[in-house]
């Protein structure tokens, strides 16, 4: 098995891209990744993995692999779409890593894209609910935020967690997004303001939810030894793991912990031969504040029930113990579903290269990204590391 590295990354702004198609967005992000990779032309790309969830139901378009390869002028390669709900981006990256690790291909483009603004809000809500079970959960009228509200409420009850402690994760994301040119919501906020926003599904407030956004992000990966030829600062993929959980919340032993995240994290730490204490910069999947909070626990950074307090004490700020979601996270950078996992990879890459500008985590050597599909049904964990 070969070591794999990230050679280049790029993304579009996250927002409502009324004037751009799915194809335009993916093209823009991919070209930026190619420029960043410094490859002369694009002739080296041998494979394309497109992370996307909703193109079939919203755009009436499947077959994104061949479609996007052609749009990029690189048809003749191996290309497909990879789907794992909101975890599609991380899952696509994982498949790219396997392709390079296998020795079958050297240069792979992984690109995530989603365009929710082509749908009305109710349509987008229905499309996102395809992450859950259409014959059971969706059928009875549950929505994605509604299911997360159950978890949020139980978390508060079980651990005596305070609303403003959970809301602090949203404030952290917004404060970091101010300096992120690609972010959807570039305004600072406070836990108090978050809790003053309208309730969406009690006890979840509007400012605790990642909004609907359009965007694309891309990464070019290759064998580590090739990356060293092209770049003085190779970023190694120290681990790439994914896991699933029992699909329905109602059938899980514990809904206050996502076993997929726990399993993927444990496997990733083992593969990278490190522990949570070695992580310098972290990207967690905060589709809702409660999801980000529980993720901090599942990834091994704090004990169960202590995530919210840990956040409220300022530990995840850029100058804190565990700088988290330093470009805004899903909450404020935005959450263009199938692209989110690749945005995380791009952001970690910038941090490890020292290119994070005002939000730079000084001396960051190792970063971890966690991307989730459904209500924790799928998780991917990636550990990136400066390889010198």
So which residues are the catalytic ones? 86, 335
When binding is defined by CB under 8 A, the residue of 70, 192, 225, 313 that contacts a second copy is 70
Strand order in the sheet with 281-283: 47-51, 108-115, 214-223, 4-11, 235-244, 378-386, 366-373, 281-283
Burial of 135 (0-12, 13-18, 19+ CB in 10 A): exposed
When binding is defined by CB under 8 A, the residue of 19, 40, 41, 76 that contacts a second copy is 76
99 touches a second copy by CB under 8 A: yes
Scanning the structure block, which residue is given the tokens 């199938």? 338
Give the nearer residue to a second copy in terms of CB position, either 98 or 193: 98
**In whole angstroms, how close is the CB of 242 to a second copy at the nearest point?**
4
When binding is defined by CB under 8 A, the residue of 66, 154, 163, 178 that contacts a second copy is 66
Residue 233 DSSP label: S
Q: Which of these ranges, 92-100, 156-164, 165-173, 301-309, lies near a second copy under the rule CB under 8 A?
A: 92-100
**In whole angstroms, how close is the CB of 77 to a second copy at the nearest point?**
6
Distance CA 74, CA 68 (A): 9
Distance CA 155, CA 294 (A): 9
79 touches a second copy by CB under 8 A: yes
CB 366 within 8 A of CB 385: yes
Question: 205-244: which residues touch a second copy (CB under 8 A)?
Answer: 241-244
CB 284 within 8 A of CB 372: no
Strands 366-373, 281-283: pairing is parallel
Half-sphere exposure of 188 (CA within 13 A, CB side): 4
42 touches a second copy by CB under 8 A: no
Distance CA 277, CA 219 (A): 27
When binding is defined by CB under 8 A, the residue of 98, 153, 186, 228 that contacts a second copy is 98
Scanning the structure block, which residue is given the tokens 């694009």? 42
246 touches a second copy by CB under 8 A: yes
**In whole angstroms, how close is the CB of 355 to a second copy at the nearest point?**
30
63 touches a second copy by CB under 8 A: yes
When binding is defined by CB under 8 A, the residue of 102, 181, 229, 355 that contacts a second copy is 102
**In whole angstroms, how close is the CB of 308 to a second copy at the nearest point?**
27
- Binding residues for a second copy, per CB under 8 A? 1, 21, 23, 53-54, 56-57, 59-67, 69-71, 75-85, 88, 91, 94-95, 98-99, 101-104, 126-127, 130-135, 138, 241-248, 259-260, 263, 373-374, 377-378
């Amino acid at each position: 098995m070969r070591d794999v590295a990230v050679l280049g990354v790029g993304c579009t702004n996250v927002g409502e891209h009324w004037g751009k198609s799915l194809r335009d967005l993916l093209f823009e992000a991919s070209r930026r990744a190619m420029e960043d990779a410094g490859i002369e032309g694009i002739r080296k790309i041998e494979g394309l993995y497109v992370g996307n969830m909703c193109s079939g139901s919203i755009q009436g378009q499947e077959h994104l692999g061949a479609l996007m390869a052609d749009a990029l002028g690189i048809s003749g390669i191996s290309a497909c779409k990879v789907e794992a709900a909101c975890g599609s981006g991380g899952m696509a990256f994982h498949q790219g890593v396997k392709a390079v690790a296998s020795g079958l291909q050297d240069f792979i483009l992984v690109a995530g894209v989603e365009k929710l603004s082509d749908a009305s809000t109710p349509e987008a809500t229905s499309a996102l609910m395809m992450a859950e079970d259409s014959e059971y959960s969706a059928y009875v009228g549950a929505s994605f935020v509604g299911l997360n509200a159950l978890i949020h409420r139980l978390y508060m009850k079980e651990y005596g967690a305070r609303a403003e402690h959970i809301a602090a994760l949203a404030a952290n994301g917004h404060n970091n997004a101010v300096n992120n040119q690609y972010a959807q919501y570039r305004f600072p906020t406070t836990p108090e303001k978050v809790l003053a926003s309208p309730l969406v599904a009690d006890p979840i407030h509007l400012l605790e939810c990642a909004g609907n956004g359009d965007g694309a992000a891309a990464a070019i990966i290759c064998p580590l030894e090739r990356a060293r030829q092209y770049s003085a600062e190779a970023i190694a993929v120290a681990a790439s793991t994914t896991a699933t959980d029992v699909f329905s919340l109602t059938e899980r032993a514990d809904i206050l912990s996502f076993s997929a995240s726990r399993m993927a994290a444990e496997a990733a730490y083992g593969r990278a031969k490190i522990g949570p204490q070695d992580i310098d910069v972290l990207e967690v999947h905060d589709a809702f504040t409660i999801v980000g909070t529980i993720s901090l626990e599942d990834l091994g950074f704090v004990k169960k029930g202590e995530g919210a307090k840990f956040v409220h004490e300022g530990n995840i700020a850029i100058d804190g113990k565990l700088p988290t979601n330093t470009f805004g996270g899903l909450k404020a950078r935005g959450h263009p579903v199938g692209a989110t996992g690749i945005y995380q990879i791009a952001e970690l890459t910038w941090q490890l290269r020292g290119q994070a500008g005002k939000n730079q985590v000084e001396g960051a050597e190792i970063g971890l990204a966690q991307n989730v599909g459904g209500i924790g049904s799928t998780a991917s964990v990636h550990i990136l590391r400066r390889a010198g």
